[in-house]
Every structure is written in C-alpha cells, then in structure tokens.
Amino acid sequence: MVDTKKTEEVQVIIPANEIDKVSDEKWEPKIIAFLCNWCSYAGADLAGVSRIQYPPNVRVVRVPCSGRINPLFILKSLQVGWDAVLVSGCHPGDCHYISGNYYARRKFSVLDDLLEFIGIDKGRINFSWVSAAEGEAFAKVIRKITKKTRQLGPNTIFKEDQ
C-alpha cells in the first residue's frame, strides 16, 4: 500500500488540445467498443502513450480479432442499453489472422444494412479500421461517434419509436 496523500497532491500539467468536455449535469452516452488485439487495441494504446485526449464515453472490450465479433454481440449490446457500439479491427490486408477482418466486414455490412432497413438509427453501430500506428485516428473515431451518439440521445432501440 502507498501513502495516498502524496499521490493525490501531484498535479499533471498538460497543454489541453481540443477536447470534447464532459459537463456533469447533462446526459452522457455509454459506448461499448470491441477492439481487435493487434491493431485497434494497439492504436488505442498509442493514443494513450501519446496522451491524445478524447471523450471518456467508451468502454473497451478486447478481442483477438474483429472476426471474433458475432453480430449478435452488437445487437445484444444495443438491447441491454449501450447507447452505441464500435467494432474496430485491422485495415484490410493487415489482419494478424490473415483474413479475419474480411469475413467480419461482410457480417457487419449485413447487420448495418438491416438495421438501416428496419429504420433504426445507424449511428448507433459503428465499424472502423484503426492500425497500431494510428493513435490520433483512434481518438478521432471516438470523438466522432461520441458526438454522433450525443445527438442521437439515449438508446431506446427496439423499444419506442425511433
């Protein structure tokens, strides 16, 4: 155990680059992100190492490969009340498992099209390719989908009128 006072006193001073601030009173979306271990998760790490700031709305679930993601995971996430879902994997060609992301891409486009078709906010499901070297790109994606989800408001998917 450590002497807590000591650690809490310390102030971290870092030049604040443009950050989407979270004001406490208004509602904030909760977003679940499935990241592949080899590229996107590494990209998120790089964002961290490079101290790139992005909104704190995302909860990351690490999976070996975007090919691991069953569309059911995404639907279930929406059903249990996550306000949005992000699935991110290696760029086409970079898949650590050779072709996982190609199969994933087909599954995702089916899901994406269907949700659109039945009239669900597409904004709630997001797919992206982020490489291990793209810390900034990862942050951008998070900023983007957080903004989008804020506009969409709380997830009432499969429930009331869209």
Partner 1 sequence: MEKIGAVLTIGGGIAGIQSALDLAESGFKVYLIEKTTGIGGVMAQLDKTFPTNDCSMCILSPKLVEAGRHQNIELLINAKILKVEGRAGNFKVKILKKALFINSEKCTGCGVCAEKCPVNSIDFYNEKLSRGKATFVKYPQSVPLVFSINQDNCIGCGVCEGVCKANAVEYSQKDEEVELNVGAVILAPGFDEFDPAPLKVYGYGKYRNVVSSIEFERILSASGPYSGMVLRPSDGDIPEKVAFLQCIGSRDIHHSKPYCSSVCCMYTAKEAVIAKEHQKQVNPTIFSMDIRAYGKDFDKYIIRAQDEYGIRYIRSRISLIEENPKTNNLILKYEAEDGSLITEEYNMVVLSVGLNPPDDAIELSKTFGFELNEFNFCKTSTFEPSKTSKPGIFVCGAFAAPKDIPESVIQASASAAHANILLHSARNSLVTKKEYPTEIDVAGKPPRIGIFVCHCGINIGGVVDVPGVVDYAETLENVEYAERNLYTCSADTQIKIVETIKEHNLNRVIVASCTPRTHEPLFQETIREAGLNPYLFEMSNIRDQCSWVHMHEPVAATEKSKDLVRMAVSKANKIEPLQRTILDMNHNVLVIGGGISGLTASVGFAEQGFMTYLVEKTAELGGFAKNIHASIEGSNVKEFLSNLIEKANNNENLKIFLEAEIDTIEGYVGNFKTKLKSKGNKENKNNTFEHGIIIVATGGEEYKPTEYLYSKDPRVVTQIDFEKMLFESEINKKVNKIVMIQCIGSRNDKNPYCSRVCCAEAIKNSIKLKDLHPEKEIIVLYRDIRTYGLKEQYYREARSKGVIFIRFDEKLPPELIKEEENLIIHVDSPNIGKLDLDLDLLVLSVGIHPPYESNEILAPMLKIPLNDDKFFLEAHVKLRPVDFATEGIFVCGLAHSPRSIDESIMQANAAVSRASTYLSKDEIETEGIVATVDISKCSGCGLCIETCAYNAITMDEEKMVVIINSALCKGCGACSSSCRGSAIDLLGFTNEEIYLVINEVK
Partner 2 sequence: MEEIRKSLNVIVKSLISEKKVEYVLGFEEGTLPLKPVPLYIEKEEDIDRLIWNEYCNLNLVKFLLEEPHGKKIGIILKNCEIRSLIVLINEKQINREDIVIIGVPCSYGIIDINKVSKLLDGKEFTEFKKNGNDYTFKGVGFKKIIKLQDILSDSCAYCKDKNPVEYDYLVETPNEFKKIKDEDFDEYFDVIEFEKKTPKERWAYFKKELEKCTLCMACRNACPLCYCKLCFIDSNQPQWFDKTDDLSEKMLFHMTRAIHLAGRCTGCEACTRACPEGIDIHLLYKKLRKMTKDRWKVDKIELGEPSVLGSYKIDDPQEFMVKED
How many other C-beta atoms are found inside a 10 Å radius of the C-beta of residue 5?
7
Q: Is 56 an interacting residue with respect to partner 1 (CB under 8 A)?
A: yes
Q: Is 81 an interacting residue with respect to partner 1 (CB under 8 A)?
A: yes
Q: Which residues pair with 84 in a beta bridge?
A: 31
- Selected from 114, 151, 153, 154, the binder of partner 2 by CB under 8 A is 114
* Measured distance CA(95)–CA(114) in Å, rounded: 26
* Measured distance CA(14)–CA(31) in Å, rounded: 26
Q: Is 18 an interacting residue with respect to partner 2 (CB under 8 A)?
A: no
CB contact set of 156 (below 8 Å; sequence gap of 6+): 162
Residue 110 interaction partner, one of partner 2, partner 1, none, beta carbon < 5-8 Å per kind: partner 2
- Selected from 44, 63, 85, 141, the binder of partner 2 by CB under 8 A is 141
Helix (H, G, I), strand (E, B) or coil at 33: strand
Q: Is 25 an interacting residue with respect to partner 1 (CB under 8 A)?
A: no
Q: How far is the CB of 36 from partner 1 (least distance, A)?
A: 9
- Selected from 25, 117, 122, 132, the binder of partner 1 by CB under 8 A is 132
Helix (H, G, I), strand (E, B) or coil at 8: helix
Q: What is the maximum alpha-carbon separation in the chain?
A: 57
Residues at the contact surface with partner 2, assessed by CB under 8 A: 71-72, 75-76, 79, 86, 92-93, 99, 102-103, 105-122, 126-129, 137, 140-141, 144-145, 157-159, 161-162
